[in-house]
Structure 1
Amino acid sequence: MPLSEQEQRLLDEMERQLMQNDADVVQAGGRRALSYRNMVIGALLVVVGLGAIVGGIALWGTAAVAGVIVGVIGFAAMVGGVVLALTPGKGVDEAPAARGPRSPRTPGGSSNESFMDRMNDRWDRRQQGE
């Protein structure tokens, strides 16, 4: 069932207000795509760190100081692995304006662009009167 003219006008007004009020949130969010390479290396660091912690516990009975040192190094490796795994790859967090103008797209959209990219393109075309 299509919206009445008044409902459509109200919806458009609500969208405009939302975009004006949340423009700084939308721009600050950016894209955050994780790097596969960073995730793999980070996971390996977590596993090595976990092994070092277990090794530190095993050393605890014979040399307590060495066990503590190995455990702390293992914990630091685990934390570093998690941080590395959650770090985006190079050039991924680039702002859309810095990438240059968008090329015209087909109405159906490309299969490699996200749903939100297509919706943003539709919104931009509507605001430009196309």
Structure 2
Amino acid sequence: MPLSEHEQRLLEQMERALYAEDPKFATALEGSGLRTRTRRAVYASVAGFVVGVGLLMGGLFVHQQWVSVVGFVLMLAGAVFAVTAWRRIPRLAAVDPRTGRPVRRKKRGGGGGSIVDRMEQRWQRRQEQQRGGF
């Protein structure tokens, strides 16, 4: 069962406080947590994907279609599991090791919001430029 937004915020605050109080201890605990397990799942999925590619090519080389089909299914399963595991990796705020305080990350792109919001903003800018340009 996933955590609510409030619980996630509280957990992030506790993690930041732990990093601020004792960064060395926090990094020691980090290695055995959820991040490590999900990273291992991503690595295993990528390895499955690579093995699937090998089976796919090997089946084509030896003219055995069933080996190619098994390779394709393994490739597909590896890709799906890698993407879902990658999305589950918890994102912690970066911590400055000298001060122990969280460092704010810069936002990507020109603004926030969903893709639809950004597309709508671009459309409106184009419409305004066309009106003003003629």
**Shorter-chain TM-score tier:** 0.3 to 0.5
TM-score, structure 2 normalization: 0.39
TM-score, structure 1 normalization: 0.40
Larger radius of gyration: 1
